[in-house]
Amino acid sequence: MKKSARPRYEAWAKIIKAMAHPSRLLIIEELQKQERCVNELTEMVGADTSTVSKHLSVLKNAGLVSDEKRANSIYYSLRCPCMMDFIGCVEDVLSANAREQAKIMKTCRK
């Protein structure tokens, strides 16, 4: 790998690592629909507020979400809705894998 390309790959990895948790993926999906406050996300994730706040911090540090304080609440929103395009690509990979697995299972049954 060229030394000049390494920072780009490290930046990509930081974003992908930030997404690599089921609760954070749920948060991303929900924020794609509309902005949410921590209390709403806590209820959706089914974890305590401190855990959800940590997840939000990881997402924010990676540049995936932004926050805005309003009165006594902090509202989070997805900075780049195109993140769902990436999730759609992941779904395509899952479908392709399932089709391939089905083909393998079909040949095993013969």
DSSP per residue, 43-77: HHHTS-HHHHHHHHHHHHHTTSEEEEEETTEEEEE
Q: Examine the pLDDT at 15 and tell me if it is beyond 70.
A: yes
User: What pLDDT score does 110 carry?
Assistant: 63
Q: Examine the pLDDT at 78 and tell me if it is beyond 80.
A: yes
User: Angle at Cα 51 formed by Cα 49 and Cα 55, nearest 5°?
Assistant: 110
**What 3-state class would DSSP assign to 37?**
strand
Q: Distance between CA 31 and CA 75 in Å, rounded?
A: 10
Contacts of 45 (CB under 8 A, 6+ apart): 23, 26, 27, 51, 52, 55
Q: The pTM is what?
A: 0.85
